[in-house]
Amino acid sequence: MFVVSIEKSVVNTMPLVTYPGRIHVIDAVSQVRSAVNALRRAPLVGFDTETRPSFKRGDTHKIALMQLATHTDAFLIRLNLVGIPTALREYIEDASCAKVGLSTSDDFHQLATLGNINPQGFIELQNLVKKYSITDLGLQKIYAILFGQKISKGQQLSNWEAQRLTDAQCRYAAIDAWACLRISEHLNSGQFIPQQSPYWHEVIEEE
């Protein structure tokens, strides 16, 4: 069986990804509608969420941040401060607005803790990459396979409920959502041919 996969050591040698657009931190309900209006104009939007990590058994935290990104603008909506206003709920539940994310079922489970919300119009990247023989299902490795760049995960376990998000947190959050958008568009464009990837190789299945 032939597959496309990459070693972590190879990813670590690659140059870091940077987000090319503007980053907007949405920390007031009054800012949400204009952000959603901008997102509705995009044909496809990258999606991700962040939750404050728990380091003690039994400790849990609710989702703190929702990232929605186009190629020009990333909106980091601080759900721990604004909740899910009507405009945002309507956008997330609008099947006509295409959104793409990775492991979205986990995000939806987290969103459910904030209220009754029914996400619609979402594309799951893990289902998409499998059609191209890519067996790595993490965002960092998928992005590295397609673009030869590394997404830094250094901020993943930072405090997403902090009074003020750092610039590093904002860049990390924007990249994670935008990367989903870029991966989806690249695969659907037909530019990626698995057999031509430098990471195409044979895997011997055990009997």
Q: Divide the 207 residues of the chain into consecutive groups of 10 and give the mean pLDDT of each group.
A: 96 96 98 98 97 74 93 97 96 98 93 91 97 96 98 86 94 97 97 96 80
**Residue 33 resides in a domain:** yes
Distance CA 207, CA 201 (A): 19
Q: How are strands ordered across the β-sheet holding 99-101? A: 22-26, 73-78, 63-69, 45-51, 99-101, 122-124
pLDDT at 158: 85
Work out whether strand 99-101 and strand 122-124 pair parallel, antiparallel, or are unpaired.
Answer: parallel
**Residue 176 resides in a domain:** yes
**Residue 170 resides in a domain:** yes
Secondary structure string (H, E, C) spanning the chain: CEEECCCHHHHCCCCECCCCCEEEEECCHHHHHHHHHHHHCCCCEEEEEEECCCCCCCCCCCEEEEEEECCCEEEEEEHHHHCCCHHHHHHHCCCCCCEEECCHHHHHHHHHCCCCCCCCCEEEHHHHHHCCCECCCCHHHHHHHHHCCECCCCCCCCCCCCCCCCHHHHHHHHHHHHHHHHHHHHHHCCCCCHHHCCCEEECCCCC
**Is 130 in contact with 142 (CB distance < 8 Å)?**
no
CATH of the domain at 31: 3.30.420.10
**Residue 207 resides in a domain:** no
pLDDT at 27: 97
pLDDT at 71: 97
**Residue 205 resides in a domain:** no
**Residue 166 resides in a domain:** yes
pLDDT at 58: 65
Q: Which residues, other chains included, contact 75 with Cβ-Cβ below 8 Å and sequence gap of 6+?
A: 24, 26, 35, 38, 39, 67, 68, 69
Structural domain range at position 116: 2-198
pLDDT at 175: 97
Number of domains in the chain: 1
pTM of the model: 0.94
**Residue 9 resides in a domain:** yes
